């Protein structure tokens, strides 16, 4: 069982990741809006592609989590298929492993 300090640390770390995802989503919305009236630069198109792929990766994870028993199944699937996580969460996992 996790101690209170470990749980607090996990909540704070995931809060930072969630805020980073929200900022990325805002940037994506701005770039998609810009693309309606101006041509995006190559760098902007790469950012849009990366962020859209991250959103697409999150949908299956959310769907699995919502299934009965998904809270148990999701961590197992993430171990088997690490690309299921969006990039911000994979960066967090890599720093945890070190």
Tens of pLDDT along the chain (98 residues)?
567 787 777 777 777 777 777 788 888 889 889 989 999 899 999 989 888 887 777 777 777 777 787 777 777 777 777 666 666 665 555 444 43
Beta-carbon contacts of residue 35 (< 8 Å; ≥ 6 apart): 48
Task: Give me the pLDDT at residue 96, please.
Answer: 47
Distances in Å between the Cα of 89 and the Cα atoms of 4, 25, 70, 93 are 22, 15, 18, 6
The pLDDT assigned to 46 comes to 92
Quick one: which of 31, 33, 35 has its CA closest to 47? 31
pLDDT of 94 reads 46
């Amino acid at each position: 069982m996790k101690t209170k300090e470990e749980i607090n640390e996990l909540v704070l770390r995931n809060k930072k990741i969630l805020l980073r995802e929200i900022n990325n989503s805002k940037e994506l919305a701005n770039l998609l809006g810009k693309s309606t009236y101006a041509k995006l630069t190559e760098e902007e198109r790469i950012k849009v592609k990366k962020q859209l792929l991250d959103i697409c990766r999150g949908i299956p994870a959310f769907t699995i989590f919502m299934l009965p028993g998904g809270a148990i199944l999701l961590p197992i699937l993430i171990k088997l298929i690490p690309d299921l996580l969006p990039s911000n969460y994979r960066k967090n996992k890599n720093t945890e492993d070190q």
